[in-house]
Structure 1
Amino acid sequence: MNSISRAVPEVALLGIRSLIAEHGYGPGDVLPSQRDLALQLGVSRASLREALSSLSALGVISVQPGKGVFIRAPLETAPTGEGLNWPFAAQAAPAEIFQLRYALEGFAAGLAAVLLTADELDALEDNVRSMREQLRNGDFDAAAQLDFDFHRRILVASGNHAMAGILTASADIFLESQKLPFIRTERAMETWHEHRKILRALARHSSASAQKTMHEHVRSAALRTGIAFVTP
């Protein structure tokens, strides 16, 4: 895929990675100012900020307001999403599944915030509580299954049978995508924190907030997998 066909934030992200590699930046080094970076890469400040956010989530850089953008770790230690144990390569790439989930589950969360019942909310609260216990016990397979169930319940609560049917028909692929973020075990608890935020938005019956927090969660899950998930 050439640069023209890529989303602009992804062009910025790849440009920053190339800049780090070409100039041999190491931990503690500071990158050019955001203004200079945007000019060098030929992208907007908004696209640059999204790219920097992605690299920060991957642990490559640290953005310190008023001070600059600092390298946190050698580039080669950052996960890239390549070489994942992904058994569904013939059907879809992991990045494509995260993109599908971003579009599908964000919209479903917005609908569910308006429609979900007290019983459905209770079930989601039980799920979040159970996930915390499984993560504390180090049972990441059980946590991934609870992750899958959390998202399934929200899709069902949306009242859209067609969207829930997509999950049912592709359950194995969706579940596998929810296992991937747990490869970074030191960040596994982030999934639980993000589910709590989604749950709070649903409990407030805030459609906009539920959609926003779900979008943030799916994008962050992709980043923990090593996939720089960019939005249009």
Structure 2
Amino acid sequence: MHASAPRAVPEYALQAIRKLIEDEGYRPGDALPSQRDLAERLGVSRTSLREALSSLSALGLVSVQAGKGVFVQAPVAQSSAHAGFAWPFAAQVSAADTFQLRFALEGFACGLAAVTLTAEELDALQDNVEQMRLALRAGDFDSASRLDFDFHRRILHASGNQAMLGIVSSSADIFLESQKLPFIRPERALETWQEHRKILKALGRHAAGPAQKAMQQHIRAAALRTGIAFATLGD
């Protein structure tokens, strides 16, 4: 069933479960079929199913209770983070593929930047993080998303890898759009700022491994806030 799906299997499973909840009229508190039954019904592995359920739990759509089952937590219409957005670059590349590329490219670049970052570049990133805090406090999500893009661009520049910077610069509209998406959930917008602070802390310690990990965790979390799951080699 999933073999012909162009998206990553966990994302396919995530969307299929959302559709199941909506089509079959599940309400908050209702139990979904067992994970074994869900995996067989969707034609996915238990590993992919668990990742999809973890993503849906992070989105607030389901509650996974050990030993009890999976329960609907909120109606799809209310909890859907991306029901109302249209990805304008669908003819070129999917939003999931964009986040997946960013996970790989920007995670590696952040690790490099932790080693090569200058004091001036670190100061600029600190200023950016403070400006985002003020923008979010004012509810200016457009400015916050542009500051988000600038934060990531500065890290790419600090990495010293001109090829990676060139990829982002040549597709700036696509990358910027992916950084706007998480802000469609205002109640969780502050999480972006908090994740940037964690990245900044690792960069300030010149810790390559933690910096790379913090960036990858941030990009994956940003995708989940949008309702998107994507596969990585560690899945």
2-structure distance, mates of 1:16, 1:220: 20
Q: SS of the counterpart of 2:216? A: helix
Flag structure 2 segments of 5+ consecutive residues without an equivalent: none
Q: Partner residue of 1:140?
A: 141
Work out the CA distance in 2 between the residues paired with 1:39 and 1:84: 31
Q: TM-score with structure 1 length normalisation?
A: 0.85
Structure 2 distance, partners of 1:176, 1:29, is 35
- Greater CA deviation, 133-142 or 98-107? 98-107
2:191 counterpart of 1:163: no
1:198 corresponds to: 199
* Contact in 1 for aligned 2:2/2:44 (Cα 8 Å): no
CA distance in 2, matches of 1:143, 1:192: 9
- TM-score (norm: length of structure 2): 0.84
Q: Which residue of 2 aligns with 1:120?
A: 121
Deviation at 1:42, TM superposition (A): 5.4
Say whether the 8 Å CA contact 1:109–1:207 is kept in structure 2. Answer: yes
Offset, 1:172: 2.4
Q: Which residue of the partner structure matches residue 97 of structure 1?
A: 98
Shift of 1:27: 0.5
CA shift at 1:231, angstroms? 3.2
Give per-residue Cα distances to partners, 1:68-126, cap 9 Å, x unaligned.
43211112333264552444444433333222222211111121122212222222122
State whether structure 2 residue 11 is matched by structure 1 residue 10: yes
Give ranges in structure 1 of 5+ residues lacking alignment: none
1:54, CA displacement in angstroms? Answer: 1.2
Secondary structure of residue in 2 paired with 1:174: helix
Q: Secondary structure at the match of 1:4?
A: coil
Give the 3 Å change call, closer, same or farther, for CA 54–172 of structure 1 in structure 2. same
In 2, the alpha carbon distance for the partners of 1:178 and 1:124 equals: 17
Q: Which moved more, 1:200-209 or 1:54-63?
A: 200-209
Alpha-carbon distance in structure 1 between the residues aligned to 2:131 and 2:66: 37
Indicate the larger mover: 23-32 or 120-129.
23-32
4+ residue runs of structure 1 moved beyond 6 angstroms? none
Which amino acid counterpart does residue 4 of structure 1 have in structure 2?
A
Q: CA deviation at 1:40?
A: 5.5
Check if 1:226 corresponds to 2:227.
Answer: yes
Alpha-carbon RMSD: 2.6
The 8 Å contact of residues 202 and 211 in structure 2, kept in 1 or not, is answered as yes
Q: Tell which deviates more after alignment, 107-116 or 203-212.
A: 203-212
Alignment partners' CA distance in 1, 2:193 and 2:91? 31
Q: Give the secondary structure class of the aligned counterpart of 2:3.
A: helix
Distance (whole Å) between structure 1 residues aligned to residue 22 and residue 139 of structure 2: 35
Q: Given the alignment of the two structures, is residue 74 of structure 1 paired with residue 75 of structure 2, yes or no?
A: yes
Residue 28 of structure 1 aligns to a residue in which SS?
coil
